[in-house]
A and B are shown apart, each in its own frame.
Chain A
Amino acid sequence: MHLTRLALTDFRSYAAAELALGPGVSTLLGANGQGKTNVVEAAGYVSTLGSHRVGTDAPLVRRGAERAILRAAITSAERDSLVEIEINPGRANRARVNRVAVPRPRQVLGVLRTVLFAPEDLALVKGDPDQRRRYLDELLVARAPRFAGVRSDYERVVRQRTALLKSARARTGSRGFGRARPSGPDAAGDPLGDEAASPAGMGLAGALDAWDEHLAVKGAELLAGRLVLTAALRPLLTRSYAAVSGDDVAATITYRQRGSARSEATAGEAADRDEPPAGDPPADRAQLAQGLREALARSRPDELERGVCLVGPHRDDLDLGIGELPSRGYASHGESWSMALALRLSGFELLRADGDDPVLLLDDVFAELDTGRRDRLASLVAGAEQVLVTAAVPEDVPAALQGTRFSVADGAVTHAG
């Protein structure tokens, strides 16, 4: 697929800007701070309904404006679509597809598929697990938009359950709750004795049971999706890593369920100890849900004591290996970049294999790379249906990716040949 038009109204630094785009490579050139990333971010937002730079919508609206509007015309193998999104910080966003309002903005997911390479991608390798979970989940949603619902349901269950654990801790904290008690699954019911006698019959323990069940069911659905995805990415990652690094070494990817380890000894530490990776667990949802139920039962005393939800896919991680070593903490700067690029490239390959090229967005990445990686990356992406590249100076862009040029300056994007 490719974008034929991208229009921004009151988005970031732009009062109004419009780009007419074609298939092939388009390059946005301009000094730092002129608004190149803002354009790429806009395309990413149409595709994912989120920004790769900020977690909230407020910074996306031009200072002084009330709302931002993005319009994107997309040509894909099956159809032409026009997506319009109104970003209203603090209120519900609105969206239209082909001039028809959709009940939920979420329904535009999947219309435009993109893979974004950005300087921030190094955090995929060096950063915290949430970076890698987000990488997986974004790909999951791009492949099957229904996962956007699964993910937001799951996140809501976690928020509800965490609130319950916190309030339980607050209520019982003064009694030295959780101290000097036997550990193990049987201890779970003990501290709840008082609550169990509450008039409604089951009190806190019963309410927790109800949320546990929903966490297990929704969590298993998300987990199953991630496991299938990880398995599909595995061969692609190995290949992409070799291609972009030029090294003859096997890069590996393993999904790791954290917080599901049997809790022994002292509370607090037990939950942080991780299960050793042992390949992917089976992606059968009923089995995964049962595993989560058991892990929840084991962790309940710790969870009550700490007031945090310690079990579930919101705690998981993706182990990235280069040869025999984990990349986090071991890989050199260059190897880390190879791994980050390989993750994005395998995402691209995966979506491409589903039938239609996603749009590639390369935001200022070449400046971060040495000549070898730069040229290999350029040749790997040059064949994509559409590539949008940004750079401060033309010299940063490899020759294979020159294409149509736009210049970005003074709040405007102009065609420059």
Chain B
Amino acid sequence: MYEGIVQSLIDELGRLPGVGPKGAQRIAFHLLATDATDVRRLASVLVEVTERVRFCRICGNVAEEEECRICRDPRRDASVICVVEEPKDIAAIEKIREFRGRYHVLGGAISPIDGIGPDDLRTRELMVRLSDGAVTEVILATNPNLEGEATATYLARLLKPLGLRVTRPASGLPVGGDLEYADEVTLGRAFEGRRLLDV
């Protein structure tokens, strides 16, 4: 245990995802040894981000305005929606520059163990977006793990009556993995080889 404020800093850092007690301590002492202006800049970005960033009212992506950059871009194909679990998955897919449609962020995957059911995801918002018939294809790009697969199966069945093309990026995605960790080549190939979800 360290004195007061230093320990508080370590505790706060330790609550971040992927940071263990040792890592928290290392980051804390790095910050203490860093030039004060640099630390202040980091602090102000942290504050700013919480004040400025919100979620796109259409797709649920992180945005600085009511709607995100992608939803505002008229060059994006409005007939295809790619459904992902988290905003970070959008960033991963954008990197491959293969996909020119729009997105929809569910905010997670179905996981009864964690008490997350379909109604806890942005499923209703998706149905609303699909109701005007402008969208002809939905790509279900949830994570290739059990919960992501179950979510895709659920959505595929839900969308079936709408008569849309429902696809899922398949080949190449490491099973049991996380979309955001897939390398660009793999992810690119997975999008090219997406298959119809037949349920």
Contact = CB atoms under 8 A, between A and B. Distances in A.
B127 A207 contact: no
B112 A202 contact: no
B181 to A, nearest CB: 11
B150 A210 contact: yes
Contact of B154 (A153, A163, A198, A209): A209
A206 B161 CA distance: 13
A204 B123 CA distance: 14
Interface string B178-199: 0000000000000000000001
A370 B115 CA distance: 54
A87 interface: no
Given A161-B112, A206-B118, A206-B158, A201 B127 contact: yes
B112 A210 contact: no
Interface string B115-139: 1011100011001000000000000
Contacts of A161: 112
Nearest to B118: A200
A153 B110 contact: no
Interface in B141-191: 146-147, 149-151, 153-154, 157-158, 176
B113 interface: yes
A207 B118 contact: yes
B79 interface: no
B158 A167 contact: no
Given A207-B110, A210-B110, A160 B146 contact: yes
Contacts of B127: 200-201
A183 to B, nearest CB: 25
B111 interface: yes
B3 to A, nearest CB: 25
Per DSSP, chain B at the interface is: helix
B124 A210 contact: no
Contact of B112 (A153, A163, A214): A163
Contacts of B118: 200, 202-203, 206-207
Interface in B78-124: 110-113, 115, 117-119, 123-124
A164 B146 CA distance: 14
A149 interface: yes
Given A167-B112, A200-B127, A200-B158, A160 B119 contact: no
Given A159-B113, A200-B127, A207-B117, A214 B146 contact: yes
A201 B146 CA distance: 22
A160 B149 CA distance: 13
Given A161-B112, A167-B115, A206-B158, A200 B150 contact: no
A157 interface: yes
Contacts of A204: 117
Residue in B111, B113, B150 with the greatest tally of chain A CB atoms within 10 Å: B150
Nearest to B146: A156
Nearest to B119: A200
B184 to A, nearest CB: 19
Contacts of A213: 153, 199
A210 B154 contact: yes
A167 B118 CA distance: 13
Contacts of A159: 113
Contact of A163 (B113, B123, B151, B153): B113
Contacts of A202: 118, 154, 157-158
A45 interface: no
A106 to B, nearest CB: 10
Residue in A163, A199, A202, A210 with the greatest tally of chain B CB atoms within 10 Å: A210
A211 interface: yes
A214 B149 contact: yes
A160 B111 contact: yes
A391 to B, nearest CB: 43
A164 B158 CA distance: 18
B146 to A, nearest CB: 5
Contacts of A200: 118-119, 123-124, 127, 158
A200 B118 CA distance: 7
Given A167-B115, A200-B118, A214 B157 contact: no
Given A206-B154, A207-B112, A214-B146, 7 more contacts: A200-B118, A206-B157, A206-B158, A210-B154, A211-B112, A213-B199, A214-B153
12 contacts: A153-B176, A163-B113, A163-B115, A167-B115, A200-B119, A201-B123, A206-B158, A207-B117, A209-B154, A209-B157, A210-B150, A211-B112
